[in-house]
């Protein structure tokens, strides 16, 4: 029996966007198992809690799981080096999405560093689809914070989580 092709798609997913889901959908066609891993950086806690991000991702992945056969899409969380988390997940490929040239420069540096840390784990880049190219979690958070409608950029579960997070933040600021 052939060895399973296991991909590892890391990110903060704060919040998950249609750009992320585009990469997940396309990567799922390349692997037998795709581990979508939510990273938690000790110095950057994020707007949404780790558990909220996992819940939103779980809901957002349901339609993808229903339409892509042949790939077991799993959720994971990690707080170690990405390359170490990929190794622990049994992956030999890290998947990264690219929106533009500035993403490319940063991602190539990261891929080269990861290759130095573990030469057995390869990084592949998937170019964002035209419809998702301009979407970034940072921009989405800014729009949501200003009360804008982010429904065209994120799944409804993510939009609702952002509304709750900013309502709570606003309530804390009013206290």
For the chain, the structural domain boundaries read 6-133
Note the pLDDT tens digit of each residue in 116-171. 999 999 999 999 998 888 889 999 999 999 999 999 999 999 999 999 999 887 77
As given in the structure block, the two tokens for residue 2 are 């052939």
Look up 136 and say whether it is catalytic: no
pLDDT at 172: 65
Tally the residues of the chain.
175
Architecture of domain 6-133: 3-Layer(aba) Sandwich (3.40)
Look up 169 and say whether it is catalytic: no
Q: Which residues contact 37 (CB under 8 A, 6 or more apart)?
A: 8, 9, 10, 11, 75, 76, 77, 78, 82, 85, 86, 89
DSSP-assigned letter for residue 32 = S
Residue 141 vs residues 5, 97, 155, 161, 166: alpha-carbon distances, Å: 34, 19, 14, 11, 9
pLDDT at 2: 67
Distance of alpha carbon 37 from alpha carbon 163, whole angstroms: 24
Indicate the pLDDT class of residue 1, thresholds 50, 70 and 90: low
Prediction pTM value = 0.92
Which backbone phi and psi does 7 adopt, to 5 degrees? -105, 155
Q: Which of 5, 26, 88, 99 is catalytic?
A: 99
Look up 42 and say whether it is catalytic: no
Question: Does the pLDDT at position 31 exceed 70?
Answer: yes
CB 35 within 8 A of CB 76: yes
Whose structure tokens read 């110095």? 43
Looking at per-residue pLDDT, the higher value among 13 and 42 belongs to 13
In DSSP terms, 37 is beta-bridged to 10, 76
Note the pLDDT tens digit of each residue in 62-109. 999 999 888 999 999 999 999 999 999 999 999 999 988 888 999 999
Q: Which of 53, 96, 137, 141 is catalytic?
A: 137
């Amino acid at each position: 029996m052939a060895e399973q092709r296991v991909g590892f798609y890391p990110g903060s997913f704060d919040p998950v966007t249609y750009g992320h889901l585009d990469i997940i959908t396309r990567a799922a066609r390349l692997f037998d198992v795709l581990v979508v891993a939510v990273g938690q950086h000790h110095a950057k806690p994020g707007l949404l809690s780790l558990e909220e991000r996992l819940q939103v991702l779980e809901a957002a992945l349901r339609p993808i799981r229903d339409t892509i056969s042949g790939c077991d899409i799993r959720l994971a969380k990690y707080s170690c080096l990405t390359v170490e988390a990929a190794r622990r997940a049994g992956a030999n490929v890290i998947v990264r999405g690219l929106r533009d040239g500035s993403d490319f420069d940063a991602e190539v540096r990261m891929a080269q560093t990861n290759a130095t840390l573990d030469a057995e784990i390869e990084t592949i880049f998937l170019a964002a689809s035209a419809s998702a190219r301009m979407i970034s979690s940072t921009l989405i958070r800014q729009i949501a914070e200003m009360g804008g409608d982010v429904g065209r950029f994120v799944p409804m579960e993510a939009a609702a989580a952002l509304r709750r997070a900013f309502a709570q933040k606003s309530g804390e600021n009013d206290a």
